[in-house]
Structure 1
Amino acid sequence: MDDLLAAPAETAGGLAVHGARAVDGSTPASTRQALVDADVPGRLAAQNPPLWDLRTAAGRPGSGAGLLPRLAELAAELADLDHVVLLGTGGSPLASQALARTTGHPLTVLDTTDPGRVRATLEDRLTRTVVVLIGSAEVTPEVDSIRRAYRRAFLDAGLSEAEAGRHLVVVTEPGSPLAAATAEWSAITVPADAPVGGRSSALSTYGLVPCALAGVPVADLLDQADAFAASLPRPQDNPALALGAALAAAATSGRDTVALVGDGTGVEGLGDWVEHLLAGSTGKDGQGVLPVVVESPDGPGLTGPDVLTVSYGGALAAGAVPVGGVTPDVAVNGPLGAHFLAWEYAAAVAATVLGVDPSDRPDTAESARHTEAILADPPPVPTPSSTTGVIEVYAPSGTPDDLPDALRHLLAGLGDHGYLAVTAYLDPHAEAAAARLRPLLAALTRRPVTFGWGPRYLHSTGQYHKGGPQVGSFLQITGTVKVDLPVPGKPYTFGELQAAQAAGDRRALAGRGRPMLHLHLTERSAGLTRLIDAVGSLRA
């Protein structure tokens, strides 16, 4: 790490990128120089449509400044509603969550259809809750079902239609599907200037409104981004260009996995947002950068022959070694507002080099279509290929029946170039132990292993799984719902929706011929304990 920090860094607006020039210089030809020769920095900064969708202009610093007085008024008007619940999918909620965590302000992001988690959130300070709905192009099943549940809960609590409307803030464009879906509420509406892709909306109305209501000083965020923005058109002294060129140079020379790890210097939760950004921007047309969020500096998966290790954080003092015994290839440090802008720009640069459109999401809707079909016409309940205690195993023919052997069979198929995606359709709070599987499996396989909560990941790494290089293997975990919750106005429950979303994703992956092992926990807590023990036994 000392050598990394001793080398010249690229800095602007308080953000520094260390190591990027060395990564670019390790390839036969400079990716960065090719980008400069093609005037990519200037074209990106100007939002040239072939490189960066014009719709992201609303997410650029400057546009948010005019919103600040309205946000201050809204926060004052709703000051008695101190439990802010954000409903949305994709990059906007993840950016808001990172900002709230970094600044220490409470914000509840509800992007799951797990009935236990939905019920627990509905029962938490209901009369003091303000629900923020964000979106434009589509109303996802999770947002639609949860907003229905909240409306019913407010009315059942004795609130009138007008009183319930005060508890709902909708951030969308006039005439959007979300505006139409919430028309029956007397909701507070904050219009968004233009449709902004979720991956590029951290600094837009979509990202700022929930954070302002949670008490986050969003003016500081915009100031940070504004101070950084002046560097974007420059061919030199442009940290975002340096970062994007390093990501692209690594990807095109065999290191197409990016291991992301926080360095402990004051930026919390950014990795989840960067994972969404990189996977969704680059994972299509058989191309892509696979992001892997590593839990801690000593977590497995930070190194490997096809891995670019990137640490991130706030202030980083010269001589500091914040990432344990692993020296990252690239270190990115600075204020969060600059981080958001730098990573959005860098992802667009990487996508440009890979030859894909960073704003396109051609594969994210496929699982949703399968989900709708399953809800409309439920298939017969399948028979497990084997059962181990409280774990039902659903595996393709030729897979061993024993649970540890079935796991070994899946892992053996990774080879030297594959990755494993663990996806859990469970309660991310009550069953948080499921996330322990990622480091355990990464240590076993020494291959990239990602972990995602369903259905959240469908809008991020789900795009990469289906549109990126087809080398992934999948371990899906579902669980029996003991106490279900109806979706008001729909002929199904949250548990049925959650199960259909998991099944829909399995169909989408099966259509691509990807290896899949589905484990169903008939008792969730006991099943997770048994599964973790089974993975641990594979070391023997």
Structure 2
Amino acid sequence: MNDAGNETGQEFGDNGAPQQILALPLELRDAMRDALADAEEVDLIERLWNKDASLWKSEPPQQKIINNALGWLTVARQMLAGAEELKTFADTVRVSQQFRHVMVCGMGGSSLCPEVLRQTFGRQKDFPELLVLDSTDPDTINNFAKQIDVRHCLFIVASKSGTTTEPIVFHKFWYDRLAQTGANAGDSFIAVTDPGTQMVKAAQADHFRKIFLNQPDIGGRYSALSYFGMAPAAIMGLNVSELLRRAVAASELCGAEAPIDENPGAVLGATMAECALGGRDKLTIITDEKLASLGLWIEQLIAESTGKEGKGIIPIAGEPLAASPSYGDDRLFVSISVQGAADNPQLKALEVAGHPVVYRVLNDVYDLGAEFFIWEMATAFAGWRLGINPFDQPNVQESKDATKALLEKYKSDGKLPAEQASATDGQLTVYASGPSAGGSVEEVLRAHCAKIKPGDYVALLAYLEETPENSAALQEIRMSVREATQAATTMGYGPRFLHSTGQLHKGGPDSGVFIQITAPDKVDFPIPGELYTFSVLKDAQALGDFQSLLAHGRRAIRVDLGQDVVAGLESLKRMLVDALK
């Protein structure tokens, strides 16, 4: 037992799996053990493996959703059996020497696992370099267009439903660009989707090189170990069999035969849930630099699975680690590292200060296969303990519907509806409603910051190009907010986060204070077959998201940075620092 009265619990990992070390205050340790005992009493793990939907909900419509969402439990074993087919296809792509890049065009669960693999493993020798496009921002698309030669890029268009707006327009855009070169465009396209979707029909009509049909009983955010994650992994040259073997081994540790207090997914899920129920609902993910992108994937899994019915665990990813005075008493820290970071002195200091810390220690980066499964199991367990359905996303459709209505308005009027600005200073323009509205930009920001209360989180929703400069400036704003308020902070690029944390923002607890950040686009592109451009689509997504937040009574403002984004972010940071004094 350490100085803080925290007790280190079981250390899983003697069997070659990732190690899990718990350092929990005594009352949380006891609550976690009670949760495991309650789960054992209802045979939770056995019923979960038997795909018993009644664990989460009793209503038939909810159970129907759950019954069609539990394929993640066994998909790793099924994919492992067919891994040779994936390797053969990837070798065919490699041997052809036709492709220098492979670009995943998708959103949310269709793009985040490939993004984790891209950032973690990097380019593999003799294989095409993986890129991931999950933004409608025209400046971002322009940079991709400059980076690739479309004649030497293999496009993976990925959508479970086959009706997701972004991959549909990405398909149209890149296919048209390739067709203009006179090439056989379809030979450079692959689809990953469920059977019978509109995307299957579109892929057949355009003679795609390959269509990977995913098993349909897997939700998007639980699809990492299916074709959505493993097809890009194979094509970029990873050892897919090894990723899947690690996942299968993890699933066996989480099986019904194992004692529940030795089940790493159940223990992690019980810890997450009991912390949230006790007010520590900010799950703060601390990773090695090499594993930093894993936070994006966990963020979607946790936020979209638990953020509903006014409840939720709020995942905090990408927030730099600080000393204890920077944090309130609403945090659970989870450290994920490759070997040896469980002795991080900053985390040890947080333990001593009484914060709960979970250490997950991977043997190497191929243990990501195990991580994907264990976090899915933990999320399913936490959903049960919180009394919610972790397999639906009831509020995600709202922003999509709002965007669709705005695009219809644009088609009929030739412009999006005008918004009434609350204040402008010639550079920054702010839009607010209620008590935040009126006065100068500084006054609106001050009124908004005054709404931040203990236990809240502040979310930066950036509909901007993702660049190192923009990311650094947004991180500085996050740190300024946290240091002034102790509030947890999140940051997401739009529209990516609509398919990730957007569900939590609308359906979770009313503890979010939102700052949407926009700017005019420098370039724009038409979308073949549509009456609107990428810029109009992105603006409609931002406006639809903002309207949806206000409709839920959330504390939200929008700040437009003007033409100079870097200068605008600097001004915003300066004004927020002043407003928080």
Say if 2:509 is the partner of 1:469: yes
Q: Deviations over 1:103-158 (max 9, x none)?
A: 23342111110011112212322222111112222422221111111011101222
Q: Which residue of 2 aligns with 1:494?
A: 534
Q: What is the distance in 2 between the residues matched to 1:107 and 1:242?
A: 35
Aligned partner of 1:243 among 268, 271, 277: 268
Correspondence for 2:369 among 337, 358, 361:
337
Match of 2:567 in 1: 526
**Residue in 2 aligned with 1:219?**
241
Task: Tell me which residue corresponds to 1:110.
Answer: 133
Q: After alignment, is 297-306 or 175-184 more displaced? A: 297-306
Query: What is the deviation of 1:248?
Result: 1.0
Q: 1:398 to 1:124 in 2, by over 3 A?
A: same
Q: Which residue of 2 aligns with 1:204?
A: 226
Q: Secondary structure at the match of 1:288?
A: coil
Cα distance in 2 between the residues matched to 1:318 and 1:306? 22
Tell me the equivalent position of 1:167: 188
In structure 2, the residue matched to 1:402 is 440
Q: Is the 8 A contact 1:294 1:300 kept in 2?
A: no
Alpha-carbon distance in 1 for matches of 2:323, 2:192: 38
| Aligned twin of 1:389 | 426
After superposition, residues 88-103 of structure 1 pair within 5 angstroms as 88-103=106-121
**Higher mean C-alpha deviation, range 435-444 or range 329-338:** 435-444
- Kept in 1: contact 2:342–2:359 (CA 8 A): no
- What is the aligned-residue identity percentage? 32
TM-fit CA distance, 1:433: 3.8
CA contact (8 A) 2:86 2:234 kept: yes
In 2: Cα distance, 1:342 partner to 1:473 partner: 31
CA spacing shift, 1:23–1:455, aligned 2, 3 Å: farther
Correspondence list, 1:340-351, <5 A: 340-351=372-383
In the TM superposition, residue 5 of structure 1 has moved relative to its aligned partner by 9.1
Q: For 1:139, give the aligned amino acid.
A: T
Amino acid at match of 1:10: F
Which amino acid counterpart does residue 305 of structure 1 have in structure 2? D
- Partners of 1:343 and 1:23 lie apart in 2 by 23
Which amino acid in structure 2 is aligned with residue 175 of structure 1? Answer: G
Letter in 1 for 2:165: P
Question: Structure 2 vs 1, CA of residues 308 and 150 (structure 1 numbering), >3 Å: closer, same or farther?
Answer: same
* CA 1:370–1:258: 2 relative to 1, 3 Å: same
Q: Which residue does the alignment assign to 1:143?
A: 167
Q: Once the 2 structures are TM-superposed, how far is the Cα of residue 418 of structure 1 from its aligned partner?
A: 2.4
1:30 corresponds to which of 29, 34, 59: 34
Give the 3-state SS of the residue equivalent to 2:379 in structure 1: helix
Is residue 231 of structure 1 aligned with residue 253 of structure 2? yes
Q: Does residue 77 of the first structure (1) align with residue 102 of the second (2)?
A: no
1:185 aligned onto 2:217: no
**How far apart are 1:28 and its partner, in Å?**
9.2
Q: State which of 303, 306, 324 in structure 1 corresponds to 2:330.
A: 306
Deviation larger for 220-229 or 119-128: 119-128
- Within the candidate set 424, 437, 440, 2:462 is matched to 424
2:59 aligned partner: none
Q: CA deviation at 1:350?
A: 0.4
Secondary structure at the aligned position of 2:31 is classed as coil
User: Structure 1, residues 24-83: CA drift from partner, whole Å, max 9, x if none?
Assistant: 424397111111111112222333334565544256321111332221222122222131
Task: Give the CA RMSD over aligned residues.
Answer: 2.5
**Counterpart Cα distance in 1 of 2:544 and 2:89:** 39
- Contact 1:281–1:351, Cα closer than 8 Å, also in 2: yes
Instruction: Identify if the C-alpha distance between structure 1 residues 83 and 151 changes in structure 2 by more than 3 Å, giving closer, same or farther.
Output: same
C-alpha displacement of 1:325: 4.6
Name the structure with the higher helix share. 2
1:457 aligns with 2:497: yes
- Mean Cα deviation higher: 44-53 or 387-396: 44-53
Deviations 1:160-212 (A, max 9, x none): xxx21111111123311321343431102122233421111111111100111
Stretch of structure 1 that moved more, 524-533 or 351-360: 524-533
Q: 1:537 deviation in Å? A: 3.7
Could you state the TM-score of these two structures normalised by the residue count of structure 2? 0.86
Q: C-alpha displacement at 1:514, in angstroms?
A: 1.3
Q: 1:526 is paired with a residue of what secondary structure?
A: helix
Give the Cα separation in 2 of the matches to 1:401 and 1:432: 29
- 2:549 counterpart of 1:509: yes
Q: Work out the CA distance in 1 between the residues paired with 2:35 and 2:85.
A: 43
Q: 1:516 to 1:318 in 2, by over 3 A?
A: closer
241-250 vs 65-74, greater mean Cα deviation: 65-74
Give the SS at the match of 2:398. helix
Between the aligned partners of 2:175 and 2:558, the Cα distance in structure 1 is 34
Secondary structure in structure 1 of the residue aligned to 2:147 = coil
The offset of 1:298, in angstroms, is: 3.3
Residue of structure 2 in register with 1:16 after alignment: 19
Letter in 2 for 1:422: L
Distance in 1 between residues matched to 2:173 and 2:348, nearest whole Å: 45
Structure 2 CA distance for aligned equivalents of residues 300 and 275 of structure 1: 23
CA distance in structure 2 between the partners assigned to 1:143 and 1:7 by the alignment: 44
**8 Å Cα contact 1:278-1:289 kept in structure 2:** yes
What is the distance in 1 between the residues matched to 2:112 and 2:287?
15
Distance 1:320 1:191, change over 3 A: same
Shift of 1:345: 0.3
Bigger shift: 229-238 or 493-502?
Answer: 229-238
Letter in 1 for 2:104: L
1:9 aligned partner, one-letter code = E
Distance in 2 between residues matched to 1:16 and 1:426, nearest whole Å: 38
From the superposition, tell whether residues 28 and 40 of structure 1 become closer, same or farther in structure 2 (CA, over 3 Å).
Answer: closer
